[in-house]
Structure 1
Amino acid sequence: MYITITAQKIGRGFETYHSSVRDYVAYLEKENQDLEPEEQETFFDQKEDKIPPETVISEIDGNTAKLKKHEPKFYSIVVSPSQRELKQISNNPKALRKYTREIIKDYAASFYRDRTVTVDDIKYYAKIEYERSFRGFEKQVQENVPYRKQIAKLRNDLAKVERGALQGNSKVIQQEIQRLTQEAPHKIKGQMIVEGMKKEGTQSHIHIIVSRKDVTNTYSLSPGSKFKASETTLQGKKVKQGFHRDQFYQSAEKSFDRMFAYDRNFMEKYGTKKLYRQDPKKFVALLLGLPNNEKQLALKLLRKGGVTIPNIPTNKVQLAYKTLMKLKQGVEQAIRSGGIEI
């Protein structure tokens, strides 16, 4: 499971936010292009399954009372189950909608306020997408970059040779291009992986648009708070504020496991990702201390994320730690891309 929370994209002035959610809604409608109405994936909320995009725009845009120009009007939550998790629910969209409605309860419970925040306070609209594309920072894209640069130069040289602006052998240049293409480490169906290329396999994920204001357009509910729990003085009164992201991520994980009887591996846990970054030695010690079948699956998930792991001496934690630290950059990229399914 890989979950991100981000504020709406900042405007051109880099100091204020776009006034409307329209562009983001249009982006989320991209997979519906060229589909018949009955085949299209619709927006949904806690109670309704089929909400028109125009309604999403008007409801989110109309729920921004007293928000300043430098404050986001909405947040985007992206929930990306791993392929193992999607297999557990047979990639069923009804299960994904049910799960979304459950984690919005977890989201509401993660706010620290003077009053209890419940799912009924949250104005949101969600949509399932079935495709994902490679991003520029991902390992497969990055490791192909040197080959792409060389190929681009050779193609430029080939064009110059063909128009007589450069001396050379066109056939030799074409052969070199073909060699580099074949040697590139990451390909899909013979095509070199580049940024924007669609990923293979089951890629279902959920986009959730959450209003900054509650359903009454009265209270601000910002998951972007720097604090988990704090108090501030507002007009002479102490006011509770904060959002506990760790609690939300862990609760969302537990909700999936409970709802779908999922046996989560060590490498799939949010706490593992956090532990790796904060205390790598403890991470290694726990990894090596797992029962053999669970440890083998954990290492398999790391490899699946594109991290090449040599034989790790299971009886020597210090040596194993040094080995994994040499792979730190690769592990970080795999975590960031969701490749190790955390």
Structure 2
Amino acid sequence: MPISKPHSTLGATNTSSCVDLALYLEKENNELDLLQQKVISSLEKIALEKRKQFFFTHSENNISTNEVISTIDNNIKRLGKKDAKYFAPTINFSPQELKHILSTITNKVDIENVWALNDNEYISFNDKIKEYTKEIMSNYAKNFNRADKGLKTGNDLVYFGKIEHFRKFKGTDEEVLNKTYKAGDFKPGINSHVHLIVSRKDKTQRLKLTPTTKERSTTRSIGGNTYHVGFDRMNWINMNEESFDNFFQYKRPEREKFINQYILKKGSPIEKASLLNEIETKEKLIKNTIKYDQNHTHNTSKGRSR
């Protein structure tokens, strides 16, 4: 399932400017700049330039880092000095999900990394991830249950997304500890994911939105006014999984479903055993159905050829 994590920030405080986070998210473009300096051919330089990723919003692409910083840092009406000003969700895909997305845009088999995609395939791959990200951010908005206050879709938020295609090994990774790779080496395979910077305030700057709150859904009344607070992170992940399956027409295996993964990881021994039995029964039924359909189609074809 796509793991959507509503981080407060990535290793820094989120009570002041987002400048450090925004500049940090330029790291892949900076590495492409270094590669451009090492090549001589102008065609190679242009090819590397086309691989750069820029920030995007619900309605715009190719947004500069300076605009991101200025917009987020100025969308803070009535926030105190110690209040969170923004959050930094991430969207991480499983290898199976990334493989499926790629299968919808190319007939290539076993793509090793994004460098194997031609320019058109690369653009299409990024465009699909951006469109799906917009669905995730609409789910984000809906999950606050503030539609009556005007918060209905991602277009009512102030956010910027940035796609990254590479990950590096850390010193604590098993592959580094067993000396298969060194810290800082690029991880093999397709590792595309999305970073987001989301303002604490909505576009109107009337609503405070906190995805890291412990409250899932609570209605409060103060001075005769009723308002809703809360954010259900598990519900958001479930919504995003459903959106992925619908958007990409993905037939998700039972073992990949978030709710099943959650039970298999944190459920009681009885719950785990019961779920595994249920999953195995469903998988067996699906396998038998596919086998029957294949045999039936084969026999029907033979009958027509006579």
- For the aligned residue pairs, the C-alpha RMSD in angstroms reads 2.4
> 1:24-63, aligned counterparts within 5 Å?
24-33=21-30, 34=33, 37-63=49-75
> 1:175-254, aligned counterparts within 5 Å?
184=178, 192-235=180-223, 237-254=225-242
Task: Please say if residues 44 and 51 of structure 1, whose CA atoms lie closer than 8 Å, have aligned partners that are also in contact.
Answer: yes
Determine the structure 2 residue equivalent to 1:272: 260
1:292/1:233 Cα in 2 relative to 1: closer, same or farther (>3 Å)?
closer
Gaps of 5+ in 2: 37-47, 103-113, 115-124, 285-306
How far residue 66 of structure 1 moved from its aligned partner, in angstroms, is: 1.5
Determine the structure 2 residue equivalent to 1:121: 156
Q: Distance in 1 between matches of 2:17 and 2:88?
A: 14
Q: Percent identity?
A: 33
- Residue 263 of structure 1 aligns to which amino acid in structure 2? K
- Residue 252 of structure 2 aligns to which amino acid in structure 1? R
- Residue 276 of structure 2 aligns to which amino acid in structure 1? L
Task: Please say if residues 17 and 70 of structure 1, whose CA atoms lie closer than 8 Å, have aligned partners that are also in contact.
Answer: no
Structure 2 residue 135 is matched with structure 1 residue 102:
yes
How far residue 231 of structure 1 moved from its aligned partner, in angstroms, is: 2.4
Q: Deviations over 1:255-303 (max 9, x none)?
A: 11011111212332221232121334312332233247948xxxxxxxx
Determine the structure 2 residue equivalent to 1:7: 8
2:131 is paired with a residue of what secondary structure?
helix
1:256/1:95 Cα in 2 relative to 1: closer, same or farther (>3 Å)?
same
Structure whose CA Rg is larger: 1
Task: Please say if residues 17 and 69 of structure 1, whose CA atoms lie closer than 8 Å, have aligned partners that are also in contact.
Answer: no
Determine the structure 1 residue equivalent to 2:96: 84
1:285/1:64 Cα in 2 relative to 1: closer, same or farther (>3 Å)?
same
- Residue 238 of structure 1 aligns to which amino acid in structure 2? T
1:289 is paired with a residue of what secondary structure?
helix
1:50 is paired with a residue of what secondary structure?
coil
TM-score, normalised on structure 2? 0.72
1:274/1:290 Cα in 2 relative to 1: closer, same or farther (>3 Å)?
closer
How far residue 8 of structure 1 moved from its aligned partner, in angstroms, is: 2.5
Task: Please say if residues 213 and 219 of structure 1, whose CA atoms lie closer than 8 Å, have aligned partners that are also in contact.
Answer: yes
1:136/1:217 Cα in 2 relative to 1: closer, same or farther (>3 Å)?
farther
1:234/1:198 Cα in 2 relative to 1: closer, same or farther (>3 Å)?
farther
How far residue 134 of structure 1 moved from its aligned partner, in angstroms, is: 3.1
1:139/1:5 Cα in 2 relative to 1: closer, same or farther (>3 Å)?
farther
Q: Distance in 2 between matches of 1:290 and 1:278?
A: 15
